[in-house]
Amino acid sequence: MKKTLLVAALAGVFATAAHAQSSVTLYGLIDAGITYTNNQGGHSAWQEKSGTVNGSRWGLRGAEDLGGGLKAIFTLENGFNIANGTSGQSSRMFGRQAFVGLASDQFGAVTLGRQYDSVVDYLAPLSNTGTQYGGTIAAHPFDNDNLNNSIRFNNTIKYSSINYSGFKFGGTYSFSNSSQFANNRAYSFGATYNYGPLNVAAGYLQLNNDVASASFAANRAGSFTGSSGAGAQTGEWTFLAGRQRTFGAGLNYAFGPATAGFVYTQTNLSDAAGGGISGTQSGTGNATQGGIAFRANSARFQNFEGNVRYALTPALSLAGAYTYTRANLGGGVNPNFNTVSLQSDYLLSKRTDVYLQGNWQHVSSNSEVGAYLNGLSSASTTQNQVAVTVGMRHRF
pLDDT, average across residues 22-33: 96
One-character DSSP codes across 337-380: EEEEEEEEEEESSSSEEEEEEEEEEEE-S-TTS----TTSSS--
Residue 184: the pLDDT is 85
Residue 60: the pLDDT is 98
One-character DSSP codes across 50-111: E-SSS--EEEEEEEEEEETTEEEEEEEEEEB-TTT--BSTTT-TT-SEEEEEEEETTTEEEE
| Alpha helical stretches, state H, 192-253 | 214-220
Q: Using one digit for the tens of pLDDT, what is the confidence trace for 237-285?
A: 788 889 999 999 999 999 999 999 999 999 999 998 778 887 655 444 4
Residue 291: the pLDDT is 55
Q: Give the separation between CA 7 and CA 20, rounded to whole angstroms.
A: 20
pLDDT, average across residues 361-382: 90
pLDDT, average across residues 4-25: 56
Whole-model pTM over 0.95:
no
Is 376 exposed, middle or buried (CB count within 10 Å of its CB: 0-12, 13-18, 19+)?
buried
Q: Using one digit for the tens of pLDDT, what is the confidence trace for 323-342?
A: 999 999 988 899 999 999 99
Averaged pLDDT of the chain: 88
Amino acid at 224: F
Rg (CA), the chain: 22
Spatial CA neighbour of 352 closest among 303, 393, 323: 393
Residue 332: the pLDDT is 87
Q: Is the pLDDT of residue 380 over 50?
A: yes
Q: What band does 163 get if pLDDT is binned at 50, 70 and 90?
A: very high
Q: Give the separation between CA 294 and CA 246, rounded to whole angstroms.
A: 17
Q: Using one digit for the tens of pLDDT, what is the confidence trace for 107-139?
A: 999 999 999 999 999 999 999 999 999 999 999
In this predicted model, which residue has the larger pLDDT, 240 or 315?
A: 315
Q: Is the pLDDT of residue 373 over 80?
A: yes
CA distances, 180 to each of 177, 210, 212, 283 (Å): 8, 9, 11, 29
Q: Give the separation between CA 84 and CA 208, rounded to whole angstroms.
A: 35
Residue 277: the pLDDT is 84
Domain extent listing, the chain: 26-395
Residue 354: the pLDDT is 98
DSSP E strands, the chain? 22-40, 43-50, 57-67, 70-79, 97-104, 108-115, 153-160, 167-174, 185-195, 198-208, 243-255, 258-270, 298-311, 316-328, 336-347, 352-363, 384-395
Q: Using one digit for the tens of pLDDT, what is the confidence trace for 91-106?
A: 899 999 999 999 999 9
Q: What band does 210 get if pLDDT is binned at 50, 70 and 90?
A: confident
CATH superfamily ID and name for 26-395: Porin (2.40.160.10)
Q: Is the pLDDT of residue 234 over 90?
A: no
In this predicted model, which residue has the larger pLDDT, 24 or 218?
A: 24
Residue 167: the pLDDT is 98
Q: What band does 289 get if pLDDT is binned at 50, 70 and 90?
A: very low
Residue 238: the pLDDT is 86
